[in-house]
Structure formats: C-alpha cells, structure tokens
Chains A and B, each alone.
Chain A
C-alpha cells in the first residue's frame, strides 16, 4: 500500500465514522442458582472500516465474550444487560436471532479459535464453504467489493472500473481458452523470450477461477504489454462468470490453500490444523463481510504457521477493505498486527490506544504487567532471584568447575546418534521421526529443543525419559547407557529424571486429590512415612507458591496455570536432577507462562537442576535456555548457545523460526 492510499484510507475512515461502536457494554451469565455473573462491565471500543483492532487480555477477561456479543452468539446463559453495540450506526444489542442471521456472513464474519473443532467432521470442506455462500444468497459469478476496497483498488489498477460486469469472475471452463488467447495476444504485441515466459507464469499463478475478476485479467494483460482495447475484449470474451464450485475453490485458494479444487472435496480430518484454519478464513470471508472477528485465530497453531496465516489474512483483508477485530492474549502479536489495541482485564477495558503507544507507555498496572510478561518482547534470559545482576556465563562456568571437582560427568544427559522409526499404516517404508540426533545437557543448565509440530522433538523427549525405545542410538544418564539399566537402575533413573508434560488438564488424574497426586511418587519410591510425606507435600506446595489449602482439592477445580504448578511440584517431589519439560508452558496464558518460567528458573538456581525444554516457541527459549537445538523433519539442523542462535542464526530454517516470533521486531524503547 502506498502512502497516498494510506492517507485516502484514513480520510475515508474519518468520513465514514466507526463501523462498529461498542459503548458501555455489560454482559451477564446466569448460574444454575439464578445468580448473575458479570462477565463484561462498561466496556467501550470502536472499529473503523478497514482497521485492525486487537482486544488483548488473559482467559476470562471477557475479550471473547465481548466479540461474541457483537455477533449475537453468546454461549449458554450469556446475555447483554446494558450498553449498546452499533454496527454501521444501527443498534444491534438485543436484536432477535433472525435479525442477526441477516447480519452474520454478509456484514460480520467469524474466524474462530480452534480449527480442530470448528468444522463439522461429516461435511466436505467445499460444502461448508458453500453453506456460507448459499445462506446469504451470494452471487457467485461476481465479486462483491466494499466501496472502501473499490477506492483502494482504483489507486493501484491501471484500468477504470465501470460497473458490476467488470467484477465478473473467471470460470474454470473458460480458463484454457483464455490462456491461449492471452498467449496469442502477447505474441501479437511482440512480447517474446523471457518476458513472455514471465508473463505467462504470472497469468498461471494469478488467474484462479472463482477468484480472479474480469478487470484484473484485463489489468494483468495490459501490464504485460497487451493494448488496452484488445485486453478488454479478451477479458470480456473469456471471463464470463464462475460456477459455485469455481467460487468455492477460488475462496479456498484466496485463503492460501494450494490445489483448492481438489481440497474442497476432502473432509476436515484430512486437513492439518493450519489448513483447517485457512478453510475457516475462507468461510469467514466468503460473503465479503465489512467486519471480521478473529477470535485467537492462530493460538492453536505453531508460530511459523501462525505467521504465514496472519500475513495472509492481513493481505486479504487489506485487499477487501475488511475491518478486523482481532482477539488475542499475546500483546506482542497484537502490537505487531493491529493499529489499535484494547486491553481488557476482569471484564473491563482498562486501556486502549494506538498499538505502539500502549506498548511503550502503558498506563494501567495490568498493561504494564502484560508488557513485562510478553515472551515475544523479552530480549534476554530470565535471571533468577539469586543471580540477578550476575553474568550468566560466568555463573555457568563456575558451576561446571565446581562439579568437576565432585568427580561427576559434566554432561548429565547425553544423546548419541538417536534414531526412531515408526511404521505407517498402509505403507511399506518406515517413517523416520527422529533421524540421527546427538546432543548433551550440561549439569545445571537448560537445553531447549525447538521445532514445529512433527519435527520429532517430543519423540526425542520420550526416548530421553525412557518411555520409548530408540530404533538405534543411545541415551546416557550420568555417563551410563540407559538401555543397559535393569529394573532397579530404571527405578532410580525415573526418580532422578522427571517429566512435566504439555497438557496440564490431561497429565493429572482427575480422580486424585492434589495431595495424592503430589504424594504418589514418594509412595511409589517408598520414601518416608505418612507424616513425613505430608510435610514434604506442604514444602513442595510452598515451593511452587501454591496455598497448602489446595491439598484436598481436585484438578478440575484449578486453573491451567495452577495445574501446571502442581505438575511441577509432583516432578520436584523426588528431588530430581533433570526435568524434561515437553511444551510445559505452551498451553498457558502469557502472564501464567511468565510465572511458571520464573518458577522453573528459580528452582534451577536453588537446586542446580538441569532442564531439557521442548517447545515450538523461540520466544520462550530466549527466556529460559542456555543452549538451543533446532530440529526439522526429525533432523538436528542447528545446535548453539541461545545468544548465538538469536544473534547469528546459521540455518534458513532457524531464521524462519525467529521471524515467526510475533512482535519480535517491535522497537519498544523500554529500558
């Protein structure tokens, strides 16, 4: 977008007034006992046409609830009890569902949070896109473009848009003939050699049936050197409108799905999470809404996928002139993507303003905490309470030297040429999940394994934990090969090497009280009597900063962050040497994540623990790790100290991962 267009946009926004204006909104949920729970109180914000506005807050802050109220899709007993929601100046708070039906799809679209559960598993992807088009009686033969988008396009295109006919879509039937005609026209215009090939390649990638319009085809031809009149006559002759199937494929392909016509016939379970999210974006934008509500659209995805999808969404909404209400818990992500930030805390808007302004000069204490906690904005390793002010490297050297004197091996865990293969169903060849990976964890330090999902990092963790047998290669603990361990050695090994898993909801037995969960390892290893075990559990709870009163409670009564603390307390119960954290903080909100990371770091300083830290999030790595191993497709692609990886990445893949950190390049001007 040029500067010129940008100022046009701002002028239009000003003239138009806010697209969405929420003022003094209040939302209640009614409990079973009839008591009202105030989910949102007195919150106000507005979204101008074509603008990205982010609502930031932790889970339970009312950010999603506010957005759902705008769509008229409050769950369960939720209802708007006060304030107003104006869409295009029209009051919609308290409107009937049938009135909302008319607004949803065409005026407002939704890209939901969890791509896994938001597509109906029994319908084909294409069918689910079609439903959106059908429900709003969309004209699939012509593009619908907002006045804003038209104005923006006019600034870029070399052609003058006349009427609706120019918005006719290209159909798949006419594509081959159009391509032939275009080639002939190029020849006639004297375009040859490299220029010709380049132009044709451009047409092939640009001319997507059901997405490319007549005026764009003409525009492309003119730009390639075909005379204006001839270009228009070709476009008019061969761009005659798309069928429903073309339009579906066009939408999916706009959302970044390759080979969309085939993909449209597949079912959701045949798609990866990222692909499903693209399909959901296609659905959300299918009817060209003025406002798109994106409710944590990428929280369930890997950072690299997140970046690609958000980049794409940005490009699409810019082209269409769609305003986006972007909901996220990551302030860094919000600041990077949105022009305006609204911070919500406990159901109220505590701060709002232009993104950089909020980030650089946070006013409210909660915003200040968010800024401090955002992993994407942190620039260095956490320093524990004991070490604050000291040089980490010097400290490490000191520690290593101290231990050498104790005549123990410097490397507590060594992984040597580890390979793990899996048998795939209906396939003969084995799938190499981990391919020749070697590294070692120094005593008292943290080594992070980074990679996207499917890179084999969790498989490595499971082999280190001796929960999975390697196909070949060895794991050494304290210099001893773990594969030679007998039952007694193994019990001892399990005592000293403890895991903390990703999902704090799944890794605690829901039928066990918190006390029983933490006490269980002590009982298994027959340590102490009932009384001393209880004392130990109390100590552990203190250690993870949880009140002792939680002992009698059950996991479902605790929040995600609290459960993860319990999981850490359980791992600490046996005074281990090594803790393997498999995505231990990935499922947590930023503030909670920050607390857990600090806790882990302080424990490391106190007890001299070593961590093997598995994560897909490089931002977290910077805060906790001393060394980083980067994995891709089961292979180790880079191994260096954290500072080296961040300051001087050697592999392109590592650079991609670094680029994907949201807000990584924001200049904060903080001290």
Chain B
C-alpha cells in the first residue's frame, strides 16, 4: 500500500511538468501582446514597454521564460500580475470562494443524485421514474449556461426566491443557485448511474440468497443492493470534485462570482501567463489528489481490489 502511494505521488511529477509546460506554451502563443494592451488607447512608449518586458522576462525566448517560472515556482514565488499584485495573493483571495461553491455543488449533487437514483432504480417503470429520467436527460443535454439563465429568470427574477447574482464576497444564499447549476449535470449522471447500478444489482444471485436466508426486504436492500450499487457512485463523486473546480468557470461568469474560474477567464483575456499557469497547476493538483483518494477509497469499498 505504502509503495503504491509513493509510486502514485512520484507519477505526479511528470504530470505537473507536462501540464505547466503545455499551459505556458498556450498562453505564450496566444495572439496579441499583453504589454501593448496595457497602454490601452494611449500611444505606446517603447522605453516603458521595454522596461516592463524586461521586468517580466518577456524579452526572453519562450523556453527561458518557462524555466524562470519553474525555478521561481519551486521557491513558491509565482511572480506578479501585470498590475503588480503577487499571483499568490490573487489566488488565495479567489480560491476559498470556489471551494465554497464547489463543496455546495458537491453536497447538492451527491444527496439529490443518489436519492433520486435510488427512488428511480427501485421503482422502475413507475411514473416518477419516468419523470426523473426525463429531467435528468434534460439536465445532461442542455448546456450549463442555459440552465443557469433559466434558473436566474425563474428563481431570481420571476419568483424572487434567491439572489440573481453574487458579489465579491458571496454568502451561502448567494451561492445556492450557482451551486445547483454547477452540480446539475453531475447530479443527472449520478441519478442515471445509481439507477442502472441498483436495477442490475437487484437481479444478482446473492440478493436472492440473502432473501433465502430470511432477511427482510429493508435489510436486503440496504446491505446487498445499496451497498454494492454505491461503489461506482462514490468513485464518480470523488472524481467529480476536481471537475467541479474546473467547471466553475462558466457558472462563475454567469453569476458574477469572483472565484477561481472568474479569475482564470480574466487572466486569459489579459495574457497573464504566470497567473493562468499557476491556477491551472493548482486545479490539476486538486484533480490528481482527488483521483488518488478515489482509488484508495475504491480499495476500501471493494475488498476485491488491492494495490501492490
């Protein structure tokens, strides 16, 4: 187990290097000159521009810039934005908001996804099973921003139940609607996954054996159907934490939430290579760690799986 963990952690090194390199290259080769953009409508002062370029090493070739970034990152210095703010400050300001949003979305999709999935799976063919299936299909097929706008209109404007947008320092209530929107697609997948797992597990031979032991229906469902059905659902949920962080970009735009997704979008527009690469690396680390936890969890949930 320890050996396996070490191997998995070592595997992260090439992943981090590869991702940072790719993202850095993408931002570098983005059309447009960020320094020129800083002057806006004013005429460009070549001397000042050259000074800024030198300060941010923008006059160096791409590969040198990348290595300078890496070298500084090792000492946890992620550089400054063009506005002079340390990158690390920007991230620590935005990240808690996204974590809050992500966790709310996670709880939302986990609870409603599993509950509706169980109802649907146990009562296949009933009218509410059909309704749940249609709604989940709708949520999967409609893009998030459409779901977002529809909810904004209905819950925010028409019925005025929830705030339409969130500000820079959002409260729980501010984030409730965004979290529902963010978690909606995954919730729909979880409903379908739970439903499929339950309806296939219920026909397993060991469920019949359990009934033959004289166990009551509730116990059989709990111990033999649900327990086995939730293994793939739990692994899906674990992997989804990382995806929620990344997926927050669209949701945060719609609801004007100043989280990581919002920050990423802004910094891509401004060509802030340091900021973009730092955020993406962070998200990637979250994703990889989540994956590792899921794999560990999988072994704990399913005794047939052992890591060596």
Interface check B209, CB cutoff 8 A: yes
Specify which of A101, A284, A426 lies most central, judged by the most chain B CB atoms within 10 Å of its CB. Answer: A101
Within 8 A of A (CB), among B180-219: 203-206, 208-217, 219
Question: How many of B's residues come within 8 Å of A, CB to CB?
Answer: 25
> Are A71 and B223 within 8 A (Cβ)?
no
Q: Could you tell me if B211 and A102 are in contact, using CB atoms closer than 8 angstroms?
A: no
Kindly list chain A residues whose C-beta atoms are within 8 Å of the C-beta of B205. Answer: 112, 114, 117-118
Q: Which residue of B lies closest to A289 (CB)?
A: B214
A123–B209 Cα distance when bound, in Å, is 13
Closest-by-CB residue of B relative to A102 is B214
Contact, CB under 8 Å: A120 / B303? no
Decide yes or no whether B304 CB sits under 8 A from chain A: yes
Q: Shortest beta-carbon distance, A108 to chain B, in Å?
A: 8
The complex places the Cα of A18 from the Cα of B212 at a distance, in Å, of: 22
Residues of chain B within 8 A (CB-CB) of A476 are none
| Distance, CA A150 to CA B211, complexed state (A) | 28
Q: Does A135 contact B (CB under 8 A)?
A: yes
Q: B308 at the A/B interface (Cβ < 8 Å)?
A: yes
Taking CB atoms, residues of chain A closer than 8 Å to B308 are 425-426
Tell me how far the C-beta of A110 lies from the nearest C-beta in chain B, rounded to whole angstroms: 4
Stretch at the interface among B56-64, B170-178, B224-232, B250-258: B224-232
The answer for the CA separation of A283 and B208 in the assembled complex, in Å, is: 13
A123→B223 CA distance, assembly (Å):
9
Find chain A residues with CB under 8 A from B227 CB: 120, 122-123
Please, which residues of chain A bring their CB within 8 A of the CB of B224? 120
Contacts of A108 in B (CB 8 A): 212
Chain B, 13-44, CB within 8 A of any chain A CB: none
Task: Tell me if A105 and B209 are in contact (CB < 8 A).
Answer: no
Across-interface contacts of B107 in A (CB, < 8 A): none
With A122-B301, A122-B303 in contact, do A73 and B206 touch (Cβ < 8 Å)? Answer: no
Asked if A42 is at the interface (CB within 8 A of a chain B CB), the reply is no
B77 contacts the other chain (CB 8 A): no
A267 touching B214, Cβ below 8 Å: no
A173 to B231, alpha carbons, bound, how many Å? Answer: 38
Contacts of A73 in B (CB 8 A): 208, 211-212
CA distance A647 to B248 in the complex (A): 79
Beta-carbon contact of B214 and A135 below 8 Å? yes
Asked whether A109 and B231 contact (CB < 8 A) given A97-B217, A269-B303, the answer is: no
Cβ B214 vs Cβ A118 within 8 A:
no
> Which residues does chain B contribute within 8 Å of A109, judged by CB atoms?
212
User: Is the beta-carbon distance between A280 and B209 smaller than 8 angstroms?
Assistant: yes
Residues of A within 8 Å of B211, CB to CB, are: 73, 101, 104
The residue of chain B having its C-beta at the shortest distance from the C-beta of A132 within the complex is: B213
Measured CB to CB, the nearest residue on chain A to B207 is A120
Tell me how far the C-beta of B122 lies from the nearest C-beta in chain A, rounded to whole angstroms.
14
Q: Which of A105, A122, A123, A426 contacts B213 (CB 8 A)?
A: A105
Chain B residues positioned under 8 Å from A106 (CB to CB): 214
Residues on B with C-beta less than 8 A from A103 are: 214
**In the complex, residue of chain A having the shortest beta-carbon distance to the beta carbon of B216:** A101
Known A117-B205, A120-B224, A131-B223: A267·B303 in contact at CB below 8 Å: yes
Residues of B within 8 A of A190 (CB): none
Q: Is B302 an interface residue (CB 8 A)?
A: yes
Nearest Cβ on chain B to A230's Cβ, whole angstroms: 41
Complex contact A131–B215 (CB within 8 A): yes
The CA of A122 and the CA of B228, in the complex, are separated in Å by 7
Residues of B within 8 A of A132 (CB): 213-215
- Residues of B within 8 Å of A112, CB to CB, are 205, 208-209, 212
A71 near B212 with CB under 8 A, answer: yes
Taking each of B208, B209, B214, which has the highest tally of chain A beta carbons within 10 Å of its own beta carbon? Answer: B214
CA distance A101 to B227 in the complex (A): 21
Give Cα A208–Cα B258 distance, bound, in whole angstroms.
69
Say if the beta carbon of A624 comes within 8 Å of chain B.
Answer: no
Q: Which residues from chain B contact A124 at a C-beta distance below 8 Å?
A: 303
Docked Cα-Cα span, A98 to B217, in Å, equals 8
Question: With A102-B214, A105-B214, A135-B215 known to touch, is A110 a contact of B304 (CB < 8 Å)?
Answer: no
Kindly report which residue of chain A lies nearest to residue B304, judged by CB atoms. Answer: A269
Q: Please, which residues of chain A bring their CB within 8 A of the CB of B228?
A: 120-122
Contacts of B209 in A (CB 8 A): 110, 112, 118-119, 280, 283
Is A586's CB within 8 Å of the partner chain B?
A: no
Q: Which residues of A contact B217 (CB under 8 A)?
A: 97-98, 101
Q: Cβ of B219: which chain A residues have Cβ within 8 Å of it?
A: 131, 135
Assembly CA distance A120 to B302 (angstroms): 11
Q: Which residues of A contact B215 (CB under 8 A)?
A: 101, 105, 131-132, 135
Residues of A within 8 A of B214 (CB): 101-106, 132, 135-136, 287
Q: CB distance B223 to A267 under 8 Å? A: no
Q: A508 CB to closest chain B CB, in angstroms?
A: 24
Task: Tell me which of A73, A120, A121, A280 has the highest count of chain B C-beta atoms within 10 A of its own C-beta.
Answer: A120
Q: How far is the CB of A93 from chain B (nearest CB, A)?
A: 17
Taking a contact as CB atoms under 8 Å apart, the answer to whether A135 and B304 are in contact is no
- In A523-564, which residues have CB < 8 Å from any B CB? none
Whether A122 touches B208, Cβ cut-off 8 Å, given contacts A101-B214, A131-B215, A426-B308, is no
Tell whether, in the assembled complex, residue A286 and residue B213 are in contact, meaning their CB atoms are under 8 Å apart. yes
**How near does chain B come to A365, taking the closest CB pair, in angstroms?**
34
| A110–B211 alpha-carbon span in the complex (Å) | 10
| A210→B50 CA distance, assembly (Å) | 87
Q: Which of B210, B219, B227, B302 has the largest count of A CB atoms less than 10 A from its CB? A: B210
Query: What 0/1 pattern do residues 212 to 229 of A give for CB contact below 8 A with B?
Result: 000000000000000000
A residues near B213, Cβ cutoff 8 Å: 104-105, 131-132, 135-136, 283, 286-287
A119 to B212, CA, bound (A): 12
Which residue on chain B has the smallest CB distance to residue A138? B214
Complex contacts, B203 vs chain A, CB 8 Å: 75
User: Smallest CB-CB separation from B209: which chain A residue?
Assistant: A118
Question: Cβ of B212: which chain A residues have Cβ within 8 Å of it?
Answer: 71, 73, 104-105, 108-110, 112, 284
Hey, which chain A residues are within 8 Å of B223, CB to CB? 120, 123, 131
Q: Which chain A residues numbered 106 to 164 have a C-beta less than 8 Å away from chain B?
A: 106, 108-110, 112, 114, 117-124, 131-132, 135-136
Interfacial chain A residues near B208, Cβ < 8 Å: 73, 75, 110, 112, 118
The CA-CA distance from A388 to B94 in the complex, in Å, is: 90
| Nearest CB in chain B to that of A114: its residue | B205
On chain A, the residues within 8 Å of B303 by CB distance are 121-122, 124, 267, 269
Of B203, B209, B217, the most chain A CB neighbours within 10 A belong to B209
Render A405-419 as a binary contact track against B, CB cut-off 8 A, 1 for contact.
000000000000000
Residues of B within 8 A of A121 (CB): 206, 228, 302-304
10 pairs of A and B residues whose beta carbons are closest in the complex: A105-B214, A110-B212, A132-B213, A117-B205, A104-B214, A135-B215, A120-B206, A267-B303, A118-B205, A135-B214
Task: List residues of A whose CB falls within 8 A of some B CB.
Answer: 71, 73, 75, 97-98, 101-106, 108-110, 112, 114, 117-124, 131-132, 135-136, 267, 269, 280, 283-284, 286-287, 425-426
Q: List 26 A-B contacts (CB under 8 A).
A: A71-B212, A101-B211, A101-B215, A101-B216, A101-B217, A103-B214, A104-B211, A104-B212, A105-B213, A105-B214, A108-B212, A109-B212, A112-B205, A118-B208, A118-B209, A119-B206, A120-B228, A121-B206, A122-B301, A131-B210, A131-B223, A132-B215, A135-B216, A136-B214, A287-B213, A426-B308
